[in-house]
Chain A
């Protein structure tokens, strides 16, 4: 019986439905009241979902920025692995409220959740 779900986002924000679907799934868990903890961990190119200057309207796609902000509004944690972001795109500004961490911390976060759902 699970109390917590970690949304592990590995896919970049556009071109796949995955990242959007993952962030929305996290939100669904929190809105339900049935899963007390749902956090998001952004790794690999998934870190790009937290880039502050995204303009999804340029390609008429739904906004993952909005999805992340919605999670933060629910007081969910959104973590971004710094070394993966640096590797993917360099030191670009991220959305306010996300927590920038290293892999050692990311492993602790994975351990702290019952189930992990990859997107």
Chain B
């Protein structure tokens, strides 16, 4: 099975980049590809638990629904710390990890990489 790596670096409410990441991941999973998402910089907000954007799509919830269907999500711990997001505040099933342990593994496991950032 081929894998797609999506690196998301925009925050959930900055623009529609996280929505794009979620839609692309869903379409790739539907076609049977494995998908890895690495949240870097502002992109770590994707997995903050308790998101409640009312009239906008809830990307945290949408991400959670894709877990276990071939999606793995890890975000950068240093970037989380910079933004005051602590371990335990991530959406269940996602992980606060690192470049060295996790993004590198995602890169090594992937056939294509899509950078979603401005």
Chain A residues lying within 8 Å of B41, measured Cβ to Cβ, are: 17-18, 21
Q: In the complex the two chains form, what is the Cα distance from A25 to B111 in whole Å?
A: 18
Bound-state CA distance A21–B40 (Å) is 8
Contact-size category for A: 20 to 34
B110 at interface by CB-CB < 8 Å: yes
Q: Determine, out of B23-31, B49-57, B65-73, B94-102, the stretch whose residues face the partner at the interface.
A: B94-102
CA distance in complex: A27, B104 (Å): 10
Q: How far is the CA of A36 from the CA of B113 in the complex (A)?
A: 17
Q: Is B112 an interface residue (CB 8 A)?
A: yes
Do A32 and B5 contact each other (CB < 8 Å), given the known contacts A118-B115, A119-B117?
no
Q: Are A2 and B101 in touch, CB under 8 angstroms?
A: no
1/0 per residue, CB under 8 A from B, across A1-44: the answer is 11101000000000001100100110111011111000000000
> In the complex the two chains form, is B104's CB within 8 Å of A1's CB?
no
Q: Is B37 an interface residue (CB 8 A)?
A: no
Give the Cβ gap from A49 to chain B, nearest Cβ, in Å. Answer: 16
Report whether over half of chain A's contact residues are helix, strand or loop; otherwise say mixed: mixed
Q: Does any Cβ of A come within 8 Å of B85's Cβ?
A: no
In the complex, what distance in Å separates the CA atom of A28 from the CA atom of B40?
Answer: 13
CB distance from A76 to the nearest CB of B (A): 14
Contact call A29/B113, Cβ cutoff below 8 A: no
**B103 at the A/B interface (Cβ < 8 Å)?**
yes
Is B100's CB under 8 angstroms from A28's CB? yes
Q: Are A118 and B117 in touch, CB under 8 angstroms? A: yes
Partner of B115, one of A27, A34, A117: A117
Whether B109 is near chain A, meaning CB under 8 Å from some CB there, is: yes
Q: Is A116 an interface residue (CB 8 A)?
A: yes
Do A29 and B115 form a contact, CB below 8 Å, given A21-B40, A115-B5, A115-B110?
no
Given A18-B9, A18-B117, A25-B99, 17 more A-B residue pairs with CB atoms under 8 Å apart are A1-B110, A1-B111, A21-B41, A24-B99, A28-B98, A28-B100, A29-B104, A29-B107, A32-B105, A34-B104, A34-B105, A34-B108, A35-B104, A115-B110, A116-B115, A118-B117, A119-B115
